Chain A
Amino acid sequence: NAGVMQNPRHLVRRRGQEARLRCSPMKGHSHVYWYRQLPEEGLKFMVYLQKENIIDESGMPKERFSAEFPKEGPSILRIQQVVRGDSAAYFCASSIQGASNQPQHFGDGTRLSIL
C-alpha cells in the first residue's frame, strides 16, 4: 500500500499521559501536514513539515503539542500531559510539493480518546 500510513488507528490515554501519533507519507512525498478534526467539524490545520524542518506551525497549540519529521522515519505528532479536550481524530496528509496548488493525500487518521 503506497498510501499515507498512520498509526495507531485508535489510541486511548488517561489524563496526564503522553500521546504519540505517527505518519508515514506516500512514497515520493516529502511534505507532511497534520490536521485535527472534532466530531461534525471540519479539518483544522495544525502544522506543516518537510524533512527535518517545521515550515508552518501556526495552527499548533503553544503548549503540550509538538511535531517532527526526522530525516529517517515517520512524522510524529506528540501531545504531552493530555487532557479531555484533546480527544479528536488526527489526520496526516502528504503532498509531493508544498504549495497550496498541490493535492494532499490523507491517511486514515488516529482516533485519540482521553479517559
Chain B
Amino acid sequence: QQPVQSPQAVILREGEDAVINCSSSKALYSVHWYRQKHGEAPVFLMILLKGGEQKGHEKISASFNEKKQQSSLYLTASQLSYSGTYFCGAGLGDKIIFGKGTRLHILP
C-alpha cells in the first residue's frame, strides 16, 4: 500500500536538475508532495488531483499519470535551500500514505 519512491538519495551540485519518482500499486485519488528538513516539520509543496495533471511553483513542478499510478517531482536549477527529504503521499480515501522519502543533498 505504501508508494515506492526512487531514487532513495540524490546528490547534486547547485544549479543541476533532479527528478524524483513515486509509484503506487493501488489506484490513486491524489498525489501529495512534501519536503522535510532535518529536525523540522514536513512542509506541503503541492497536491495533484487529476490524471495527467501538472502543477508547479517557482522551479519545482510535478506530474501525475493516473493510468500508470505514478507521479514525478521535477526540481530545476536546484538551489541549496532545496536540500531535504522529499516525500510523496498517496491519497487513498480519507488518508494519505507516505513513501519512505528521497534524500536530496545539494552541494555548493
B interface size (C-beta, 8 A) = 24
Tell me the residues in window 83-115 of chain A with beta carbons closer than 8 Å to chain B beta carbons: 91, 98-109
Smallest Cβ distance from A70 to chain B, in angstroms?
Answer: 20
Secondary structure type dominating chain A contacts: loop
A33 within 8 A of B: yes
A interface size (C-beta, 8 A) = 24
B93 within 8 A of A: yes
Q: Name the one of B41, B47, B100 contacting A91, with C-beta atoms under 8 angstroms.
A: B41
Secondary structure type dominating chain B contacts: strand
Q: Verify A33–B91 contact, CB threshold 8 A.
A: no
Q: Which residues of B contact A56 (CB under 8 A)?
A: 93-95
A55 within 8 A of B: yes
Q: Verify B94–A48 contact, CB threshold 8 A.
A: yes
Closest residue on chain A to residue B43 by CB atoms: A106
Q: Which residues of A contact B95 (CB under 8 A)?
A: 33, 45, 48, 56, 100
Known contacts: A41-B100, A42-B2, A43-B87. The answer to whether A99 contacts B41 by CB under 8 A is no
Partner-A contacts on B (CB < 8 A)? 2, 29-30, 32, 34, 40-44, 47, 49, 87, 91-101
